[in-house]
Chains A and B, each alone.
Chain A
C-alpha cells in the first residue's frame, strides 16, 4: 500500500466520523416537551351507541334511549321490576335474568306504561316463582312477565326472551296494535302465555288460559289447561296447539297446523288446509267454510271432521258420532265405530264411508243426497234399518257392501251401482239402471234378503241365495238368479223371457 492510498483512506474515515458527529447539529431545533397527556385513539361505547346501564331493581325508564342490564337482577320487594314510561326505548337484557320470588307479588317484570310506543325488549330472561298445582298458580314473585297498563302499547317488539313462573300472563302486548313477539318461550303461567298481533317462532307451555293469542301466528307451539291453546284471529301457519280445557287451535285460516284437545275442538277454523285435529270429547277438526287435505278424529265427540266443504279429507269417530260430516265431500273418507261413517248433507263424490259397530237405530256407512263414485260399507253388526250406502236422490257408480242385516245400497235412483248384503237387501231403489244387487247369505234363516229390489229396473241383475234375486214392478232386460229361493218377482217384463 502506498502513501497515496493511505491518504485517501484517512480522508474517508475523517469524513464519516465528521458526518456522524455533525448530524445532530444539522436537524431543526424543536420543543422537546410533549404537547399533553396521551389521548385515546378509539371511540367509547357511549360515543358509538349511548346506552344506559341498569344494575338494580326497581328501575324506571323515563327517557327515550337504549338501556342495558349489567347483571342478574333480583326484585326483592313487591312491584314492577322495570317500568318503561317513555317512547322509543330499547331494553337489552344482554343474557341476564330479571327475577323475583317475593311472596304474594303483584307486579310485572317489565311493565310498559300507558300508551307507550316504539319499544324493543330483547335478549334475556324473566323468571318468577309461581308454580302450577293442578291448575292453581301460586302468587310468588312477579304476577306477570311483560305487560302494559290500561292502554295497549304500539310498535312493540319482544325478541329472544324466555319467561317462566307467573300466575297471570307471560307476555301480553295486546293484539289491536302493531306488536311482535319473536323467538320467545314462556312456561308455567296462570293466564295467557303470549299475546301479540304477530307471534313468530315462539312457544308457550303449561298455561292456565290460552297459550298464544295472536292475529297472525307462524311456527308456534302452545299448550294450556283452559282456553284455546292457539287462538289466532287470522292466519296460523305451521302451528301446534294442545289444550285440555278448550280448543287445541283456533284460526281463521289454518294451514299445516295440528290441534289437539280433550274437551274442545281439536282444530277449529274457517278454512283448514293440510291440517290435523284430534279431540277426545268434541269435534276433531271443524271448518266452517272448507277443509282441504285434512284429517279429523274424535274419540267420543259428535264429529271426527266437520266442514262445509271437504276435499281430500278423512274423518274418524270411535264412538256414536259421525266420522266425517260435510255439506259437500269430494275425495273424502269417513269412518265411525257406532255412527255414520261419512255424511254428506248434499253431495259426495269419490268418497267412502263405513261403520263397524252398532248400538241401535239407523246409521249408514255413507249417507248423501247425491253420490257418485262412492263406496259405503258396514261391519257385521248393522241392523236392517241401516245401509252401507244411503243416497236420498241419485247414486251413480257406487258400491255398498254390508256384512250384516244392513242393506247394501238404498237410493231413489241408482245407475251403475253394486249393492251387496250378507243378510239384508243388496240394493233397494225406485229406479235402477245397469245395477247389480246381491244377498249372499248361504246359511238360510232370517238373512234371505232380496238381491235387487226396484220399482223399475233396466239392464239389471239380482242374486239371492235363499231369497228373491230380483224384485221389480217393471223390468227391462233384467235377470234374477237364486240357489234355493225365487229367481225373480217381476210384474211387467220387457226384453226378457
Chain B
C-alpha cells in the first residue's frame, strides 16, 4: 500500500466536488476477478463522501473514505484500530519512485552528448547490452543454487541436419548489437469505439485501452461519480505499470465509472474482469460518522514515507 498511495492520490483531485456533480447517491456492488482471486467491493456514495470497503476477505483490508470537498482520503484499518489520512496532492507523476535518490548532476547539467539529456524517465536509462557469445539456456540454474525447472523437451525428429541446413554447432554469433529498445510502457492508448449499450440502467460507452499489444475493453458511464480505485494495504512495485494499474486512472481522468472491464490474454483467457454486480440508487444521509469517519477510539497513524 505504501507505494500505491502516491499514485492513488493523483486521482483524488478529480474527485473533489465531483461527487456533487455526478448527482448520484446510493450503493454499488463490484466484483473484481484477477488471477485466482475474486474480490468484492461496496461503494457507498453520499452527497459529500465516498466509502469503499471490501465485503469479503480476511479483515485486513482497509476502508477507503473520500471526502469530496477536500479530496482527503482516509484509510481506516479496523483490524488494528487505526487510521491514516492522505491529503490531496498536485498531480505530477514521478518518473521514479518517490524518495528514490537521483544521480547528482553537475551545475548546468551534463554537456551535450554525455549522459542522459533533458528529462529522463525511469526507462530510458537502460544501458546498451553488449552481446557476447555465452552459454545457452541449458546451463542455467536458478539463484540460490536452486535448480530452475526446465520446460519439457521434445526430441528432434531429425537427429542430424545436413551441413548448411538449420542450426549448426559451433556457429559463432554474427548478431549485431541489440539496438536501444523503446520503453515497455509506451504507447498507452485510450479510445472510444463508438459502441454504446445500457448496463444496469446506465448508458455506457465502450472504450478500448491498448498497451504493448495488450487490449482492455471497458464499458463505462459518466452518470456515476468518477471511478476511484480501492486501495488496500497491498504495496505497489518498482516494475513497469501494467494495464491493471493504469486503467483506473485513465477512467478517473475522464470522469467515468466502469460497469464492465475485461483484460484478456491473446489466447482469450480473461486476465482481469471488473464487473458491477448491482447498483442501488438511494439516499445516503449525511453527516453519518458511522459511515464516513473512523471510530473515536481509533489511533491515527502517519502515512508511511514511501
Residues of A within 8 A of B (CB): 106, 134-137, 139, 143, 167-169, 174-176, 190-192, 195, 208-210, 213, 225-228, 231, 233-234, 245-247, 250-252, 256, 258, 263-265, 268-270, 274-276, 280-283, 286-290, 293-295, 297, 299-302, 306, 308-309, 311-314, 316, 319-321, 327-328, 330-333, 335, 338-341, 345-347, 349-354, 356, 358-363, 372-373, 375, 377, 379, 396-399, 401, 403, 416-418, 420, 434-436, 438, 440, 459-461
Given contacts A280-B35, A308-B240, are A314 and B60 in contact (CB under 8 A)? no
B123 near A359: Cβ-Cβ < 8 Å: no
A345 near B212: Cβ-Cβ < 8 Å: yes
A168 near B175: Cβ-Cβ < 8 Å: no
A417 near B178: Cβ-Cβ < 8 Å: no
The chain A residue sitting closest to B100, CB to CB, is A252
Given contacts A226-B1, A233-B100, A340-B266, are A268 and B237 in contact (CB under 8 A)? yes
Residues 108-134 (chain B) with a chain A CB within 8 angstroms = 122-123, 125-126, 129, 131, 134
Chain A residue numbers with a CB within 8 Å of B213 are 345
Tally A-B pairs: CB < 8 A: 328
Q: In the complex the two chains form, what is the Cα distance from A377 to B155 in whole Å?
A: 10
Can you list 25 residue pairs at the A/B interface with Cβ under 8 Å?
A: A106-B299, A208-B77, A213-B304, A226-B232, A226-B233, A246-B233, A263-B35, A264-B234, A270-B238, A275-B143, A281-B35, A289-B122, A314-B140, A314-B142, A314-B148, A327-B182, A331-B136, A333-B137, A346-B179, A346-B181, A349-B178, A350-B137, A372-B173, A373-B173, A375-B137
A231 near B167: Cβ-Cβ < 8 Å: no
Cβ-based interface call for B146 (8 A): yes
The 9 closest A-B pairs by CB, nearest first: A268-B237, A190-B80, A281-B35, A286-B239, A418-B166, A226-B233, A228-B235, A361-B267, A320-B269
Quick one: CB contact mask for B164-183 with A, threshold 8 Å, 1 for yes? 11111001011100110111
Smallest CB–CB gap between B237 and chain A, Å?
3
Cβ-based interface call for B157 (8 A): yes
Q: In the complex the two chains form, what is the Cα distance from A26 to B291 in whole Å?
A: 106
Given contacts A397-B167, A401-B154, are A209 and B299 in contact (CB under 8 A)? no
Given contacts A227-B2, A300-B35, are A233 and B306 in contact (CB under 8 A)? yes
Q: In the complex the two chains form, what is the Cα distance from A434 to B143 in whole Å?
A: 38
Cβ-based interface call for B290 (8 A): no
Quick one: CB contact mask for B234-268 with A, threshold 8 Å, 1 for yes? 11111110101000000000000000000001111
B167 near A398: Cβ-Cβ < 8 Å: yes
Q: In the complex the two chains form, what is the Cα distance from A247 to B179 in whole Å?
A: 32
Cβ-based interface call for B271 (8 A): yes
Cβ-based interface call for B152 (8 A): yes
Given contacts A137-B80, A225-B58, A321-B265, are A250 and B237 in contact (CB under 8 A)? yes
Given contacts A245-B233, A250-B238, A335-B151, are A461 and B162 in contact (CB under 8 A)? yes
B142 near A281: Cβ-Cβ < 8 Å: no
B164 near A252: Cβ-Cβ < 8 Å: no
Q: In the complex the two chains form, what is the Cα distance from A168 to B79 in whole Å?
A: 10
Cβ-based interface call for B106 (8 A): no
Smallest CB–CB gap between B173 and chain A, Å?
7
**What band does the interface of chain B fall in when counting residues whose beta carbon is under 8 Å from A?**
35 or more
Cβ-based interface call for B105 (8 A): no
Chain A residue numbers with a CB within 8 Å of B235 are 210, 227-228, 231, 246-247, 250, 264
The chain A residue sitting closest to B158, CB to CB, is A438
B158 near A321: Cβ-Cβ < 8 Å: no
B158 near A459: Cβ-Cβ < 8 Å: no
Residues 60-91 (chain B) with a chain A CB within 8 angstroms = 60-61, 77-82
B266 near A363: Cβ-Cβ < 8 Å: yes
Chain B residue numbers with a CB within 8 Å of A396 are 174-175
The chain B residue sitting closest to A191, CB to CB, is B80
- From the candidates B129, B142, B183, B268, name the one contacting A360 in the complex (CB within 8 A): B268
Chain A residue numbers with a CB within 8 Å of B143 are 256, 274-276, 293-295
Chain B residue numbers with a CB within 8 Å of A332 are 137, 140
Q: In the complex the two chains form, what is the Cα distance from A145 to B176 in whole Å?
A: 58
B165 near A331: Cβ-Cβ < 8 Å: no
Cβ-based interface call for B3 (8 A): yes
Q: In the complex the two chains form, what is the Cα distance from A139 to B1 in whole Å?
A: 23
The chain B residue sitting closest to A356, CB to CB, is B152
Smallest CB–CB gap between A375 and chain B, Å?
8
Given contacts A174-B305, A309-B129, are A245 and B60 in contact (CB under 8 A)? yes
- From the candidates A176, A274, A347, A397, name the one contacting B305 in the complex (CB within 8 A): A176
A377 near B184: Cβ-Cβ < 8 Å: no
The chain B residue sitting closest to A422, CB to CB, is B157
Chain A residue numbers with a CB within 8 Å of B140 are 312-314, 331-333
Residues 200-222 (chain B) with a chain A CB within 8 angstroms = 212-213
Chain B residue numbers with a CB within 8 Å of A327 are 181-182, 184
Cβ-based interface call for B194 (8 A): no
The chain B residue sitting closest to A257, CB to CB, is B143
Cβ-based interface call for B99 (8 A): yes
B165 near A295: Cβ-Cβ < 8 Å: no
A377 near B154: Cβ-Cβ < 8 Å: yes
Q: In the complex the two chains form, what is the Cα distance from A289 to B136 in whole Å?
A: 22
Cβ-based interface call for B193 (8 A): no
Chain A residue numbers with a CB within 8 Å of B80 are 136-137, 167-168, 190-191, 208
Cβ-based interface call for B59 (8 A): yes
Smallest CB–CB gap between A381 and chain B, Å?
12
Smallest CB–CB gap between A110 and chain B, Å?
17
Given contacts A320-B269, A436-B165, are A345 and B181 in contact (CB under 8 A)? yes
Chain B residue numbers with a CB within 8 Å of A460 are 165
A418 near B161: Cβ-Cβ < 8 Å: yes
Smallest CB–CB gap between B271 and chain A, Å?
6
Told that A289-B122, A309-B126, A312-B140 touch, could you supply 15 new A-B pairs with CB distance under 8 A? A136-B78, A137-B80, A210-B235, A226-B234, A227-B1, A234-B101, A252-B238, A281-B35, A308-B181, A330-B134, A362-B267, A363-B267, A435-B165, A436-B165, A438-B157
Most buried by A among B140, B154, B182: B154
